[in-house]
Homo-oligomer: A and B are copies of this chain.
Amino acid sequence: MLTFETQLRVRYAETDQMGFAYYGNYPQYYEVGRANAMRQLGTTYKDMEENGVVMPIVDMHIKYIRPARYDDLLTIKTIVSGLPASRMHFDYEIYNEEGILLNKGYTVLAFLKKETGRPCGAPDWFLNKLKEYGGLEVRS
Contacts and interface: CB of A to CB of B under 8 A. Distances in A.
A54 B11 contact: no
A9 B34 CA distance: 13
How many copies of the polypeptide does the oligomer hold? 4
Interface residues of A, number: 37
A71 B58 contact: no
Contacts of A59: 62-64
Interface of A: 9, 11-13, 15-20, 22-28, 31-32, 35, 44-46, 49, 54, 56-64, 67, 70-71
26 contacts: A11-B35, A13-B22, A13-B28, A16-B16, A17-B17, A17-B18, A17-B70, A20-B56, A23-B56, A23-B60, A24-B28, A26-B27, A35-B71, A44-B71, A46-B70, A56-B64, A56-B67, A57-B64, A59-B62, A59-B63, A59-B64, A60-B60, A60-B61, A60-B64, A61-B61, A61-B62
